[in-house]
Amino acid sequence: MKAILVRDTGGPEVMKLETVPDPKPGPGQVVVKVEAAGVNPVDTYIRAGISYRKPDMPWTPGYDAGGVVKAVGSGVKSYKPGDRVYTARTVSGAYAELVLCEEHQVHRLSDKLTFAQGASIGVPYGAAHRSLYGRAKGVRGETVLVHGASGGVGTAAVQLARAGGFTVIGTAGTDEGLALVLKEGAHHALNHREPDYEKKIAELSGGRGVNVILEMLANVNLRRDLDLLAPRGRVVVIGSRGAIEIDPRATMTKDSAILGMSLMNSSAEELSEIYGDLVKGFDAGTLRPIVGRKFPLTEAPKAHAAVMEPGARGKIVLIP
């Protein structure tokens, strides 16, 4: 089969399409024919060598795929060849024609969703769900600010929060992004590139502040986030690309909390609960992954450049 291989860390160009042996499922494993693979920012950090995760080389990137089961190993009970599935983590990497997974890394793909949408679930929806519910312990009726709502995690968070009965404020950096955020269910959308947009957030929350902030760029926003919170508010740091100085007193005055979140810290039980809950939303149509752009697998380097550029509009996926 064809697969992207990274032999040494570096820029997007270190990803090369090569021919490798087809994976064979061992006991408890599933091989999925990949129809689409999701591109996540974390794939670029690992490829560049700036993540704490240092996979053995050569390495095939990709946690998320949508596709069809091709073969199952002994003891696999939940899947059979031909089943429509998506992956959330893999053994062999999703940027390939075939991907090897443990059975628990494979999930049923709702009939309502395309394969490209299936490739947009694992990391983004997992991160949004664990942040809103697992970390912030958000409850219906609260106000949530999705700070960076136009990308993979942000659009998922907006849909989840809206479906969960929250008042949702989302931010984006382009008109197209703002339109998407409103379409996906935000009650209000604000441009994070405009001066003083935070003042509008305070106004929109009736001066009380927001209960939960799901933060995609903490190194830029965390200090101001602390001022935007209501008493006992929670900021969940989902994304951060550098350092920032904050005044810890801002957390004391409101009993507020800054909560880190890495999906990689989830236990198998947590992940099974998260993806089990999400499928209800996919079947009901309240959760609809947004595929912004598709690139052929051969253009994985272009897709990696694109995912790091401003102007997000949902997910970027690769088509083998």
The reply on whether position 238 binds ligand NAP by CB under 6 A is yes
- Determine the 3-state secondary structure of 206 from DSSP: coil
Out of 62, 154, 233, 281, the only residue in the binding site for ligand NAP (CB under 6 A) is 154
* Measured distance CA(169)–CA(189) in Å, rounded: 6
Cα–chain-centroid distance for residue 285? 19
CB of 281 to ligand NAP, least distance (A): 18
Contact flags string 288-307 toward ligand NAP, x per CB under 6 A: -------------------x
The reply on whether position 216 binds ligand NAP by CB under 6 A is yes
Q: Is 231 exposed, middle or buried (0-12, 13-18, 19+ CB in 10 A)?
A: exposed
Contact flags string 173-192 toward ligand NAP, x per CB under 6 A: xx--x--------------x
CB of 37 to ligand NAP, least distance (A): 14
Contact indicator for 236, 214 with CB cutoff of 8 Å: yes
Q: What is the DSSP letter of 290?
A: -
The reply on whether position 40 binds ligand NAP by CB under 6 A is yes
For residue 268 the two structure tokens come to 């198998």
The reply on whether position 153 binds ligand NAP by CB under 6 A is yes
The reply on whether position 41 binds ligand NAP by CB under 6 A is yes
Out of 127, 235, 278, 317, the only residue in the binding site for ligand NAP (CB under 6 A) is 127
Cα–chain-centroid distance for residue 35? 19
Q: Give, in degrees to the nearest 5, the angle at Cα 107 between 103 and 110.
A: 155
* Measured distance CA(311)–CA(309) in Å, rounded: 7
* Measured distance CA(29)–CA(278) in Å, rounded: 23
CB of 194 to ligand NAP, least distance (A): 11
Interacting residues toward ligand NAP by CB under 6 A: 40-42, 123-124, 127, 147-154, 171-174, 177, 192, 216-217, 220-221, 238-239, 261-263, 307, 310-312
